[in-house]
Amino acid sequence: MMRERDEHTSPSERSSSTAPATVEDERWGKAAGAIETAVENAVAQGRRRRAKIERERAKAHANAADYEPGIVTFIDVLGFRAMLTNRSAGDIHNIILSLREFTTPEAEHFHRMKEVRLSSRSFVESVSDAVVRVRVFNTQHSDGAFFHELLDLLHIQIQCINHGVLIRAGLAIGNVHVGLNGSGPVFGPAMVRAYDIESGEAIYPRIVVDDAAYEQFLSDARLHNEDHELEEEVEYVNRLLRTGEDGTRFVDYLGASEDEHDAFEDYIGFLGRHAALIRQNLAEISKSTIRRKYFWLGRYHNSVVSQIRLRFEAGELSARNFLALTGREAADVLDELIVNF
């Protein structure tokens, strides 16, 4: 019966019955077209994004094969050869691991290639007791790379002293290869210069700054903090440096470390550990060439203690406050800090 009704339906009736379906089809057609356009746009945007990432990667890999300017420090444990004969493998193992821990910066994670060189950062490579630190500074922002590297080196020396380790190092500035994410290998003229300073010029347990590196710091804005005037930046850097009797500029880890301790009595405690380390090595070492290094270190140490004594005498430091905090006279404590040899 239903079939018969369909067969006898008039054309006008059939037309009116299909009209709503045609409107609905148009609506669905428009929606489908909009969806298709959106999908095409999303696909095109994704392709452009992937192409941009590939270009950045290609550029980064190309740059990774090139030299770039860096602050390079070659660090070595003082007296390591002697340790091999008079210290256990376990002791040496711990010393090397401690040095690597102190010299390695905290890991940084980046989401985009260009963030890798957003501001100065340090990379580290180590072999046995030798560590090479490289701080790149040809970056989008200048954050005071030279000052920050010197301050990091000062902290490294403090930590090493607190663990009974003395280091010697040379610092140079120049071309170096370190790889995009510090994956290495590290090599280049600046590394060679830093090694030459450490092995031939530093001599004593100190971090020697190449004269050419200091001169470049004065003239290269990339090594400054972009928010500081040059005079201000130079003042900050000079507070961390000292010139020795031989005219060599080195990191003043004894004098400059006072501000890196929470309290003055903590700083005095650090000087006490430093004095004990010198006395211990002088008592154990008989070879004259090595003893001369500790004589130099003793003179450096005593000169810093003498400067503190002068500050007490001038009233810059209060002996009364020191007595109240420590229960001891400042003069007695300073006398005990002097290394006699």
Domains of the chain by residue range: 60-260, 264-337
pLDDT above 70 for 10: no
pLDDT attached to residue 15:
47
CA distances from 260 to 48, 113, 235, 256, 277 (A): 49, 34, 17, 8, 20
Note the pLDDT tens digit of each residue in 145-161: 999 999 999 999 999 99
pLDDT attached to residue 21:
55
Note the pLDDT tens digit of each residue in 37-60: 888 888 878 777 776 665 555 455
Note the pLDDT tens digit of each residue in 175-188: 999 987 777 789 99
Residue for token digits 């810059």?
A: 316
pLDDT classification of 32: cutoffs 50, 70, 90: confident
pLDDT attached to residue 81:
65
What distance in Å separates the CA atoms of residue 224 and residue 94, rounded to the nearest whole number?
A: 36
What distance in Å separates the CA atoms of residue 66 and residue 44, rounded to the nearest whole number?
A: 33
Higher pLDDT, 256 or 17: 256
pLDDT above 50 for 1: no
Average pLDDT over residues 96-111: 62
> Within 13 A of 114's CA, how many CA atoms are on the CB side?
7
Task: Give the three-state DSSP class for 175.
Answer: strand
Candidates 241, 270, 268, 280; CA nearest to 334 is 268
CATH code for the part of the protein at 60-260: 3.30.70.1230
Q: Strand 249-251 to strand 130-136: parallel, antiparallel, or no bridges (unpaired)?
A: unpaired
